[in-house]
């Protein structure tokens, strides 16, 4: 059976099969109206043929929307066939399933992941790959979920290896090089040959320290600025009566982010700065009342 249908598909195009079938239906319609229904007017044969044709077009033709491809399954040979946008003839034994309409637009894959740097801190990476289906048969044979997993694995392996060989600060400065490495690896993958897709866009949207490290760095920066302001307050005091502790307390109150009765800096010098860092890292709220 498979050999017969394979030979038929090789020798007779889809359109010819449809025309032959419709011609046979036309003859049978006239024979039916003339001999079985005894309607001598040939117009009745055309009417019957038109009614049958309205139901028989679908098995012989298929309509594919714009920027879409359709993959049909040959129920006899088991082969897959791709149809592009537009109206096309098909064999009646080629099955059409709603899930086999393939979107040919760009499909984005967004990922956010953390990777440990060589010196310890984790770096938070936001990256994106956009792919487009160029071979619907290969694509549907692999499946979208599997392709997205493969794409994610390739990107993650590049980012993980890069971060393992770079310190956090150095990696952040080399984001362009990292993005270039991502693009090179996806190009070397040759996805069009294996998965039926092309990858025109590979972008590293952002690479930054994880939240807890960002908070510590922000705290260190603000603390250094406050300490500098406190030093200026002491130097401008004519009698130089302000101690380090008092100056830091005054600056923190002026800053307006820490309540004095909770976060008052105790000690002087290094102890004062340590207390200041602890207070800020605890997230003191706006000052409501000083007691």
pLDDT tens digits for range 104-134: 999 999 999 999 999 888 888 999 999 999 9
Question: What domain range is 11 assigned to?
Answer: 2-103
241 vs 32, which has greater pLDDT?
32
Query: Is pLDDT larger for residue 16 or for residue 277?
Result: 16
Question: Distance between CA 217 and CA 284 in Å, rounded?
Answer: 17
* Contact call for residues 122 and 211 (beta carbons, < 8 A): no
Instruction: Using the predicted structure, report yes or no on whether residue 259 has a pLDDT greater than 50.
Output: no
Does 58 share its domain with 115?
A: no
Q: Is the pLDDT of residue 1 over 60?
A: yes
On whether residue 291 sits in a domain, the answer given is: no
End-to-end Cα separation, the chain, in angstroms: 96
- Domain assignment of residue 90, yes or no: yes
Determine, yes or no, domain membership for 48.
yes
288 within domain boundaries: no
Bridge partner residues of 69 (DSSP):
102
Of 187, 209, 231, the last residue of a domain is 209
57-83 pLDDT per residue, tens: 989 999 999 999 999 999 988 899 999
Count of structural domains, the chain:
3
Does residue 290 belong to any structural domain of this protein? Answer: no
My answer on whether 124 and 85 are in the same domain is: no
**Higher pLDDT, residue 74 or 169:** 74
- Does this model's pTM top 0.85? no
Q: Which residues lie across from 115 on neighbouring strands?
A: 123
Q: Do 24 and 40 reside in the same domain of the chain?
A: yes
**Looking at per-residue confidence, does 129 or 241 come out higher?**
129
Instruction: Choose among 212, 222, 218, 186: nearest CA to 109.
Output: 186
The encoded tokens of residue 223 equal 């603390």
Q: Is there a single domain that holds both residue 76 and residue 111?
A: no
Q: Does residue 94 fall inside a structural domain?
A: yes
Residue 180 domain flag:
yes
State whether 139 and 233 are in the same domain: no
- For residue 191, give the CATH number of its domain: 3.30.479.30
Dihedral (CA of 153, 155, 157, 163) sign: negative
Question: Encoding tokens for residue 141?
Answer: 């044979």
Quick one: 202 and 131 in the same domain?
Answer: yes
pLDDT of residue 232: 63
Note whether 90 and 174 are same-domain residues. no
Q: How confident is the model at residue 265 (pLDDT cuts 50, 70, 90)?
A: very low
Does 257 fall in a domain?
A: yes
Domain boundary pick from 183, 209, 235: 209
Asked whether residue 210 carries a pLDDT value surpassing 90, the answer given is no
Residue 231 has pLDDT above 80, yes or no: no
CA distances from 212 to 121, 163, 207, 215 (A): 10, 18, 15, 5
> In the predicted model, what is the mean pLDDT of the chain?
81
Query: 268: which residues sit within 8 A by CB, 6+ positions away?
Result: 243, 244, 245
Which of 209, 228, 247 is the last residue before a domain boundary? 209
Q: Report d(CA 222, CA 52) in Å as an integer.
A: 82
Q: Sorting pLDDT into bands at 50, 70 and 90, what band is 260? A: very low
Residue 23 class from Cβ within 10 Å (0-12 exposed, 13-18 middle, 19+ buried)?
exposed
Q: Are residues 97 and 12 in the same domain?
A: yes
């Amino acid at each position: 059976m498979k050999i017969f249908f394979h030979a038929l598909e090789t020798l007779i195009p889809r359109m010819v099969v449809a025309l032959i079938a419709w011609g046979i239906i036309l003859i049978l319609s006239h024979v039916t109206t003339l001999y079985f229904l005894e309607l001598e007017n040939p117009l009745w044969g055309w009417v019957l043929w038109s009614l049958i044709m309205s139901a028989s077009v679908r098995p012989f033709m298929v309509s594919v929307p714009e920027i879409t491809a359709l993959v049909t399954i040959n129920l006899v040979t088991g082969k897959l066939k791709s149809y592009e946008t537009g109206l096309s003839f098909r064999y009646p034994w080629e099955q059409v399933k709603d899930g086999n309409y393939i979107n040919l637009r760009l499909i984005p894959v967004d990922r956010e992941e953390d990777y440990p740097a060589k010196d310890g801190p984790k770096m938070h990476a936001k990256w994106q790959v956009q792919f487009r289906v160029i071979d619907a048969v290969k694509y549907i044979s692999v499946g979208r979920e599997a392709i997205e997993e493969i794409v994610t694995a390739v990107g993650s392996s590049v980012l993980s290896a890069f971060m393992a060989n770079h310190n956090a600060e150095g990696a952040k400065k080399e984001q362009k090089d990292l993005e270039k490495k991502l693009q090179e690896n996806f190009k070397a993958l040759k996805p069009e040959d294996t998965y039926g897709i092309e990858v025109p866009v590979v972008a590293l949207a952002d690479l930054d320290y994880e939240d807890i490290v960002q908070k510590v760095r922000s705290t260190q920066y603000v603390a250094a600025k406050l300490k500098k302001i406190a030093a200026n307050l002491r130097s401008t005091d004519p009698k130089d009566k302000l101690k380090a502790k008092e100056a830091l307390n005054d600056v923190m109150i002026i800053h307006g982010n820490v309540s004095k009765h909770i976060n008052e800096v105790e000690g002087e010098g290094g102890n004062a700065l340590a207390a200041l860092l602890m207070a800020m890292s605890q997230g003191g709220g706006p000052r409501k009342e000083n007691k």
